[in-house]
């Protein structure tokens, strides 16, 4: 059966071309031109995968994503976006979109996104099958347990059976057939101590009994006419319960438990005696099988590779498997929401409560805190447990730890953002490089030295930007190995200034330096640290250049000592940052520069500073510039107590 997929795009050409491609891949395609039409189709067909554009009339892709997730959180939604919609794409990921693909759509990227969505659907289905299999096993073992309990309770049922057969003498031949259903030997005896009726099992085990003496099947001392269980019941008027032994036709002696009950006529006199014989060997065998089944069930319960709890209607955990007890604290009478989240009331929505309400299995995802403080992301399934009357008494909750899956999804999303950002950045750099080459060609053709020089400066500038981007990508991809050497602080600072000051001067930005005279040397990787400082200074230059305010812009670069640390301070009076930008400043792929940045520079600079045992602090307000304070230890120890009070890991030289 073909998997359904809902394709939503306001461009008919894209719907037609992409629809053909999806049908070739084996999908049944449902197409919609806007979010409202798509939502109607979703309610009708409930497709497991939705592929939707973000920007559409009537209802856009983000509102459609929210509506779909409210109806069914398990639906996998893949967003289609242009290069300029990265912020919207990131917002979609926060709203639990599976992935996003930039236009124009490449077949290989679409295939990867669809494969990732199908993997998630398959994982949920496998967990559902596992839950159903466990439910069936519990039901089967419960049935066996009930069977053994019924056999052990034969004695308690005798009185009720005798009452039901009070007038048995009048219709014995027709009514005795009910005893054929019992898993024990049943016979009816008259006052002459003769067997007048018996069930099928009695005949199979002891031979044809009709007309035989009541005591003939017993082994001494119970094979006495006056003291056999049936004779004593007639004599005393009371039922008997006795351990005896019976002899099979082949001579084998079998230990049994005998229960007898008098059957009285309407006058109150005993006319018949009902005898029920339970094979003790069979009872022991069933009891042993029950113990073995319980042990296997307990082993399955404990060794299952997920968290399992059994909860009552007050959410008290009455049983928990070994994996749960290892990772979560469980006191007597503890409720699940306290064990999982240290909360005082139930989570909302609660799948356990829903299973109690409608008797169905439910699932959800939640984040919980283990007893070691680690947070885990769980995929939770619930299943109701019923008693013999069909009433729900407990709910079993099974939770699979999908933290690593979510981490891998985040990494894949980050990789997608990186690829998109790098592609966009390289496109801009190549455009600038093409412009420089054009100026060079034009200058050579016209023999214009000024134009040739301008073209060459453009090419060299673009090559420098390409080199920095490649280095940033390499630093992001792997941990750089530091090459620590004794370095003159002021000399390194001056070299950094020499690389960035011409750019500031060209933009009309004042660049002032203030270096303490007695800074001496420190042990650093000069190349990597210089690159980090250059990145921060270039960021300050771009902040000033982007400021629309009519004022003289200035950058102050100060270097001074702070005990065992060297502090580099970069201040500007540029455009500044709001609180949201400051909070995300060192997040990979985040940039406030639009197409002019790739969101890795400050993230990598901070990462490299921490490799040195250093730290970077930022203070800024929108429209009032920014100040970066960068501290680096003179000698990177194994662990340095930073002036801010934070422990910062360093490296041995």
Domain boundary residue, one of 340, 369, 401: 401
100 vs 86: CA distance, rounded Å: 10
CATH of residue 610 = 3.30.565.10
Rg (CA), the chain: 41
Give the containing element (helix H, strand E) for 372: none
pLDDT for 212 equals 92
Give me the pLDDT at residue 185, please. 87
Q: Are residues 538 and 614 in the same domain?
A: yes
Which 8-state DSSP code applies to residue 171? G
Q: Is the pLDDT of residue 589 over 80?
A: no
**Residue 511: pLDDT over 50:** yes
On the question of pLDDT at 54 being above 80, the answer is: yes
Do 164 and 43 share a domain, yes or no? no
Q: Which of 14-23, 163-172, 238-247, 486-495 has the lowest mean pLDDT?
A: 163-172
User: Could you tell me the residue range of the domain that residue 325 belongs to?
Assistant: 304-401
Quick one: pLDDT at residue 556?
94
What integer best gives the mean pLDDT of the chain? 80
Read off the pLDDT band of 626 (50, 70, 90). Answer: very high
Q: Give the position of tokens 């003289």.
A: 552
Q: 3-state class of 141 per DSSP?
A: helix
pLDDT band of residue 642 (cuts 50, 70, 90) is very low
132 located within any domain: no
**Residue 376: which CATH number?**
3.30.450.20
How does residue 560 score in pLDDT terms, banded at 50, 70 and 90?
very high
Residue pair 524/563 in contact by the 8 Å Cβ criterion: no
**Residue 643: is its pLDDT beyond 50?**
no
pLDDT higher than 50, residue 145:
yes
Residue 504 within a domain:
yes
pLDDT at site 483: 78
Residue 545 inside a domain? The answer is yes
DSSP string, 34-92: SHHHHHHHHHHH--SEEEEESS-SSS-HHHHHHHHHHH-TT-EEEEEE-GGGHHHHHHH
Question: What CATH number is attached to the domain comprising 86?
Answer: 3.40.50.2300
Same-domain pairing of 490 and 543? yes
Q: What's the Cα-to-Cα distance from 644 to each of 538, 607, 618, 635, 636, rounded to whole Å?
A: 25, 17, 13, 17, 16
Q: Identify the band that residue 475 occupies on the pLDDT scale cut at 50, 70 and 90.
A: low
Q: Model's pTM, two decimal places?
A: 0.34
Q: Kindly report the three-state secondary structure assignment for every residue of 500-557.
A: HHHHHHHCCCEEEEEECCCCCEEEECHHHHHHHHHHHHHHHHHHHHCCCCCCCCEEEE
Note the pLDDT tens digit of each residue in 94-113: 888 888 888 888 888 888 88
User: 462: exposed, middle or buried (C-beta count within 10 Å: 0-12, 13-18, 19+)?
Assistant: buried
- 396 shares its domain with 367: yes
* Statement to judge: residues 397 and 412 lie in one domain: no
When pLDDT is averaged across residues 533-559 and rounded to a whole number, the result is 89
- How many domains does the chain fold into? 5
If asked whether residues 531 and 643 sit together in one domain, one would say yes
pLDDT at 171 over 50: no
Residue 477 confidence (pLDDT): 55
Which of 476, 501, 521 is the endpoint of a domain? 476
pLDDT at 628: 92
Q: Are 170 and 188 in contact (CB under 8 A)?
A: no
| pLDDT of 639 strictly over 50 | no
pLDDT computed for residue 172 by the predictor: 44
**For residue 165, pLDDT beyond 80:** no
Backbone angles phi, psi at 579, to 5 degrees: -65, -40
pLDDT exceeds cutoff 50 at 157:
no
Residue 145 lies in a domain: no
pLDDT of residue 637: 58
Mean pLDDT in residue range 372-380: 85
pLDDT in tens, 386-425: 887 888 999 999 888 888 777 777 667 666 656 655 665 5
Contact 510/552 with Cβ under 8 angstroms?
Answer: yes
Please say whether the beta carbons of 244 and 222 come within 8 A. Answer: yes
Shared domain check, 626 and 511:
yes
Q: At which of 401, 434, 454 does a domain end?
A: 401
Check residues 408 and 202 and name the one with the higher pLDDT: 202
Please calculate the CA angle 40-53-69 and round it to the nearest 5 degrees.
50
If asked whether residues 591 and 489 sit together in one domain, one would say yes
Q: Tell me which of 7-11, 467-471, 530-534 is least confident.
A: 467-471
Query: Considering only 1-5, 56-60, 407-411, which range has the smallest mean pLDDT?
Result: 407-411
| pLDDT on residue 427 | 64
**Burial level of 291, CB count in 10 A (0-12/13-18/19+)?**
exposed
Whether residues 416 and 354 share a domain: the answer is no
The reported pLDDT for the residue numbered 595 is: 39
- Pair (319, 448) in one structural domain: no
Question: Do both 624 and 564 map to the same domain?
Answer: yes
Mean pLDDT of 465-492: 73
600 in any annotated domain: yes
pLDDT of 512: 93
Answer yes or no: is pLDDT of 147 > 70: no
Whether residue 137 lies inside any domain: the answer is no
Q: What is the pLDDT of residues 282-313, one digit of tens each?
A: 667 776 777 777 777 777 777 778 888 999 98
643 & 496 share domain: yes
Q: Is residue 516 part of a domain?
A: yes
Yes or no: say if 620 and 612 are a contact pair by the CB < 8 Å rule: no
Lowest-pLDDT range of 110-114, 163-167, 359-363: 163-167
pLDDT value, residue 514? 92
pLDDT at 612 over 80: no
Q: Is residue 297 part of a domain?
A: no
């Amino acid at each position: 059966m073909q998997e359904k997929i809902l394709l939503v795009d306001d461009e008919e050409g894209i719907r037609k071309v992409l629809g053909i491609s999806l049908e070739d891949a084996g999908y049944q395609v449902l197409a919609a031109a806007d979010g409202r039409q798509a939502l109607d189709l979703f309610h009708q067909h409930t497709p497991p995968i939705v592929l939707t554009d973000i920007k559409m009339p009537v209802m856009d892709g983000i509102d459609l994503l929210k509506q779909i997730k409210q109806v069914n959180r398990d639906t996998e939604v893949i967003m289609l976006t242009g290069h300029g919609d990265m912020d919207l794409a990131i917002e979609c990921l926060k709203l639990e979109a599976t992935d996003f693909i930039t236009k124009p759509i490449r077949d290989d990227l679409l295939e990867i996104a669809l494969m990732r969505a199908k993997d998630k659907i398959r994982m949920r289905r496998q967990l559902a099958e596992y839950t159903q299999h466990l439910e069936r096993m519990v039901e089967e073992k419960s049935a066996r347990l009930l069977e053994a309990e019924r056999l052990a309770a034969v004695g308690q049922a005798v009185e009720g059976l005798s009452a039901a057969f009070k007038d048995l003498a009048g219709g014995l031949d027709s009514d005795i057939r009910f005893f054929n259903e019992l898993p024990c030997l049943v016979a009816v005896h008259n006052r002459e101590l003769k067997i007048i009726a018996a069930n099928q099992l009695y005949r199979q085990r002891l031979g044809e009994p009709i007309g035989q003496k009541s005591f003939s099947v017993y082994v001494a001392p119970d094979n006495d006419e006056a003291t056999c269980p049936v004779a004593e019941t007639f004599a005393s008027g009371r039922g008997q319960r006795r351990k005896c032994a019976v002899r099979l036709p082949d001579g084998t002696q079998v230990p049994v438990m005998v229960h007898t009950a008098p059957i009285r006529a309407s006058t109150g006199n005993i006319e018949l005696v009902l005898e029920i014989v339970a094979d003790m060997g069979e009872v022991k065998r069933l009891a042993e099988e029950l113990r073995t089944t319980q042990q296997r069930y307990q082993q399955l319960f404990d060794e299952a590779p997920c968290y399992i709890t059994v909860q009552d209607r007050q959410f008290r955990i009455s049983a928990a498997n070994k994996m749960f007890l290892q990772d979560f604290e469980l006191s007597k009478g503890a409720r699940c929401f306290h064990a999982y989240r240290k909360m005082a009331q139930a989570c909302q929505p609660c799948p356990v409560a829903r299973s109690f309400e409608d008797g169905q299995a439910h699932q959800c995802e939640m984040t919980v805190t283990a007893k070691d403080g680690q947070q885990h992301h769980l995929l939770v399934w619930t299943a109701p447990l019923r008693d013999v009357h069909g009433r729900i008494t407990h709910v079993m909750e099974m939770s699979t730890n999908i933290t690593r899956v979510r981490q891998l999804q985040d990494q894949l999303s980050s990789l997608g953002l990186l690829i998109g950002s790098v592609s966009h950045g390289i496109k801009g750099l190549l455009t600038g490089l093409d412009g420089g080459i054009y100026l060079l060609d034009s200058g050579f053709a016209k023999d214009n030295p000024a134009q040739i020089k301008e073209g060459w400066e453009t090419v060299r500038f673009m090559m420098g930007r390409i080199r920095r981007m490649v280095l940033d990508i390499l630093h992001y991809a792997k941990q750089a190995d530091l090459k620590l050497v004794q370095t003159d602080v002021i000399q390194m600072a001056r070299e950094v200034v020499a690389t960035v000051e011409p750019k500031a001067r060209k933009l009309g930005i004042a660049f002032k330096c203030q270096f303490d005279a007695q800074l001496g040397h420190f042990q650093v990787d000069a190349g990597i640290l210089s690159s980090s400082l250059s990145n921060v200074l270039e960021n300050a230059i771009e902040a000033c250049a982007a400021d629309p305010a009519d004022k003289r812009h200035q950058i102050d670069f100060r270097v001074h000592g702070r005990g065992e640390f060297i502090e580099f301070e970069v201040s500007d009076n540029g455009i500044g940052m709001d609180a949201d930008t400051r909070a995300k400043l060192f997040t990979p792929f985040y940039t406030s520069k639009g197409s002019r940045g790739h969101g890795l520079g400050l993230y990598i600079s901070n990462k490299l500073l921490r490799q040195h045992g250093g730290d970077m602090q930022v203070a800024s307000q929108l429209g009032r510039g920014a100040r970066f304070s960068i501290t680096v230890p003179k000698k990177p120890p194994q662990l340095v107590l930073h002036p801010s009070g934070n422990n910062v890991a360093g490296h041995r030289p």
